A and B are shown apart, each in its own frame.
Chain A
Amino acid sequence: MSADPRRERRQELHGYIAGLCLALILSAIPFAAVMTGALPRAGIVWTIAIAALCQVMVHFRLFLHIDLSRSHRDDLQLILFSLLIVVLMVGGTLWVLGNQRAMMG
């Protein structure tokens, strides 16, 4: 094996290890926030939400290798589209069912 692919492989491995560490840290933070109870309730919710978003970014960037480069533009578009649909479905459901609940109350 020549030097080049080996270096590439090592870089790839570094990327995965960094991803794993970040994923673990980002999982540990919300757990810690809940278990220690150091923050007020709203603070805990926001911490979990932000950690979850960062977690998604880490997975996309380091595990699925999605970035802003030209060759990954298709993947990025698909992810943005998925995001749109998820927002429509989840947001719409919350809106509709919440409204029905309010009408029944």
Chain B
Amino acid sequence: MIHFLFGELGYNALPFYSAIATVAASVVVLGAVVVVGSITWLRGWRALWSEWLTSVDHKRIGIMYVVVSFVMLARAVIEACVMRSQQAVAYDSPGFIPPEHFAQLFTTHGTIMIFFMAMPFLIGIYNFAMPLQLGARDVSFPVMNSISLGLTSAGAVLMMISLCLGKFSTGGWTGYPPYTELSFSPGVGVDYWIWALTLSSLGNTMTGINFAVTIYKKRAPGMTLFRMPLFCWTALCISILMIFAMPPLTVATLMLAMDRYLDMHFFTNALGGNMMNYVNMFWLFGHPEVYILILPAFGVYSETIATFSNKRLYGYTSLVWATVSIAVLSFTVWLHHFFTMGQDGSVNAVFGIATMLIAIPTGVKVYDWLLTMFRGRIRLSVPMLYASAFMILFVVGGATGVMLANPGFDYQVHNTLFLVAHFHNMLIPGLLFGMLSAYHYWFPKAFGFRLNEVWGRIIFACWTGGFLLAFMPLYIVGALGMPRRSQEFFEAVYQPYMYVALAGAALVFCALASMAIQLWTSIRNRDSLRVFAGDPWNGRTLEWSIAAPPPEYNFARIPKVDSVDAFYQAKQQRTAWRAPDEYFDIPLPANSPVGFLCCVSGGAFGFALTWHIWWAVVVSALVFFGSIVLRSFNRDTMRIVPSGEVQETEENWLLALSETPPVANEAMFTTANRGLVREPV
């Protein structure tokens, strides 16, 4: 009976096997208790439910995505610091973390950073900014958007639960079989990994469909594809990548699940299994995924560099074609992740050359950005600092990438810290810096007040310094031959570099802490940072033409577009911020609890499968599909914002706008900036 009720779940699942695990689990439980407690104390449950959890507004969904990603970022950065500390003391000594626990750490760190930090961060930013840039009122499928968020969050929750109940996978973020098969990894860890990934990859596939349809169908009149802001172009490319690249991952993890649950033999050693096909399928997803992660940052930099150089983006068309060709080429290079798996030299050569080709469109982009800055009126805002650091560091990372694209070189350094240094060098400047600059850039639009500038610069310094200290030494020890994922090492020569890397990790931790402080002080001083007028950076694209924070309907009147940088042109011609002649009722999608139900039932489904609680599997699956089927019978899915309310909101804002003194370009970062900037002459 107990087995029926709880499956494999028992007392021994509790994290009392090591002190570190106990502390980590307590932090998670304590964090959850504090969050629940403070929501109750602030009497926020009703507002949370009606304004956030059931909301299908793309702006709110975007913000929730970013919140998920920040929580997961905190966990994964702390894990990175723990791993760096272990390696700093691991010369000829077992250190303080046993090998199995160390393996869990690098597995969760990688899984979280890719699937639960990077993906939610970029999807959140797109969700918020892309419809505004397109001049749309929402994405094409708002409820599906909330279901995607639900599935991603369910995966993230599963990751957090794995810290408290049972042990996570030790198979690395890629989870290669046969090690992750039942015979070598009999515990629940791999199952946690499979279901967390499956849930999030389903959510991401749906997001891809949603974004692509939005871009094809919901652009403002006059906005042809070649008049879209470059950020939207990258959105289009990554949504198409997501549509085609996520299914191989879902299929590969589900096949692995079938091996483990149904005794099949897709990837086993015996009975005709072929584990190389798993690696092949994983990277059929994995390489396009790299560009899903990096193209958004390219999009953000294209926006921020143009805005803060006060110049039109140089070479718009070439940037578009570079983006598109990177997207297509990303499907032709997946084999470079397993050069050493045993195919012959000519296969490796083809994929090596294809890999090197990607450096060409990327180089085009870097030159375009440099030429955008050339003779521009550059303002060194926080996003601009990130963009400049990115251009230098990304070129270094790209150069090591071209080195690794040579199969001969790759044979030497594969599975060493050189590779670890390389991909962190791509992903930190090429994803995280981009997303952080997007966070600083669009935060005032989302919440109506700017983030604290000084702390923004401190965060930037900590991230860049921390990144350099943490990863440049890894290039050296990697070239010297230190294997990645080592819990202990025996070469004295690696040791000093490990100390430097630890110092870098400490700085990165400071960056994380500074982000919390920045958010705190900015919220406390929000009145002096307000930018209600809505255009604090002298923006160029449509999202800056409305109030900050934007009204729920975004645009009282859908704008007409006849060039790139439509809003900037309107400001030049003094046609911006015109009150509409007439106000109309605006239909908006009504709130729906389906996304939240899918989150809870999807999470329960994954958890029940992990622990073999079969009755809960059936119940949660029924709730999941039932809520979607029931939703389809609901015909009352729209809500009308009456024209009177629209008029009142807009007139209030236009009045405030007319009373806002425009600030000089140089004073943009002072409290004088109330959301309107004078055009420099």
* Residues in chain A within 8 A of chain B (CB atoms): 74, 81-82, 84-85, 88-89, 92-93, 95-97, 99-100, 102-104
Contact, CB under 8 Å: A96 / B280: yes
Least CB separation from A89: chain B residue: B284
Which stretch, B165-173, B294-302, B331-339, B499-507, touches the partner chain A?
Answer: B331-339
- DSSP class of B's interface residues: helix, strand, loop or mixed? helix
Report if B342 contacts A (CB, 8 A). Answer: yes
Q: Is the CB of A100 within 8 A of B248?
A: no
With both beta carbons as reference points, the residue of chain B lying nearest to A88 in the complex is identified as B331
Q: Which residues of A contact B510 (CB under 8 A)?
A: none
Report whether B331 and A100 are in contact in the complex, using a CB–CB cutoff of 8 Å: no
| CB neighbours of A102 from chain B (8 A) | 344
Which 6 A-B residue pairs are closest in the complex by CB-CB distance? A99-B343, A85-B244, A88-B331, A100-B343, A99-B347, A100-B342
Using known A-B contacts A85-B244, A89-B248, A93-B277, determine if residue A100 contacts B341 with beta carbons closer than 8 Å. yes
Q: How many angstroms between the C-alpha atoms of A74 and B284 in the bound complex? A: 25
Known: A85-B244, A88-B331. A93 touches B280 (CB 8 A): yes
Closest to B343 in A: A99
- Sample of 16 more A-B contacts, CB < 8 Å, known A85-B331, A89-B244, A99-B343: A84-B328, A88-B331, A89-B248, A92-B284, A92-B332, A93-B277, A96-B280, A96-B343, A96-B347, A97-B277, A97-B280, A99-B344, A100-B276, A100-B342, A100-B343, A103-B342
Contact with A along B254-291 (1 / 0, CB 8 A): 00000000000000000000101100110010000000
- Return chain A residues, CB-CB under 8 Å to B277: 93, 97
A95, B277: Cα distance in complex, Å: 12
Q: Which residue of B lies closest to A104 (CB)?
A: B342
Cβ of B497 to closest chain A Cβ, rounded Å: 36
Cβ A95 vs Cβ B347 within 8 A: yes
**B336-380 near A? 1/0 per residue, CB < 8 Å:** 000001111001000000000000000000000000000000000
Which chain B residues lie closer than 8 Å to A84 at the CB level? Answer: 328
Q: How far is the CB of A103 from chain B (nearest CB, A)?
A: 6
Of the A-B pairs whose beta carbons lie under 8 Å apart in the complex, a sample of 13, sorted by A's number, is: A85-B244, A85-B331, A88-B331, A88-B332, A89-B244, A92-B332, A92-B335, A93-B280, A96-B343, A96-B347, A97-B280, A100-B341, A102-B344
**Which residues on the A side are within 8 Å of B335 (C-beta)?**
92, 96
The reply to whether B344 and A103 form a contact with Cβ atoms under 8 Å apart is yes
**A97 near B274: Cβ-Cβ < 8 Å:** yes
Separation of A37 and B537 alpha carbons in the complex (Å): 73
Residues of A within 8 A of B284 (CB): 89, 92-93
Residue-wise, chain B 397-419 has the 8 Å CB interface mask toward A (1 for contact) of 00000000000000000000000
Chain B residues near A (Cβ < 8 Å)? 216, 240, 244, 248, 274, 276-277, 280-281, 284, 328, 331-332, 334-335, 341-344, 347
- CB contacts (< 8 Å) of A103 on chain B: these are 342-344
Which residues on the A side are within 8 Å of B344 (C-beta)?
99, 102-103
- Name the distance in Å between A18's Cβ and chain B's nearest Cβ: 29
In the complex, what's the smallest C-beta–C-beta distance from B369 to chain A, in angstroms?
27
CA distance A85 to B244 in the complex (A): 8
Task: Give Cα distance in the complex from A95 to B276, angstroms.
Answer: 13
> Quick check: A74 and B332 within 8 Å, CB to CB?
no
By a CB distance below 8 angstroms, the chain A residues around B240 are 81
List, in ascending order, chain A residues with CB within 8 A of B331's CB: 85, 88-89
- Cα separation A96 to B437 with both chains bound (whole Å): 40
Most buried by B among A74, A82, A93: A93
Q: Which residues of B contact A99 (CB under 8 A)?
A: 343-344, 347
Closest to B347 in A: A99
How far apart are B513's CB and chain A's nearest CB, in angstroms? 43
B residues within 8 A CB of A96? 280, 335, 343, 347
Whole-angstrom CA separation of A100 from B340 in the bound complex: 11
CB distance from A44 to the nearest CB of B (A): 25
Chain A residues positioned under 8 Å from B248 (CB to CB): 89
B332 proximity list for chain A (CB < 8 A): 88, 92
List residues of chain A with CB within 8 A of the CB of B328: 84
Chain B residue, CB-CB nearest to A102: B344
A102 to B342, CA, bound (A): 10
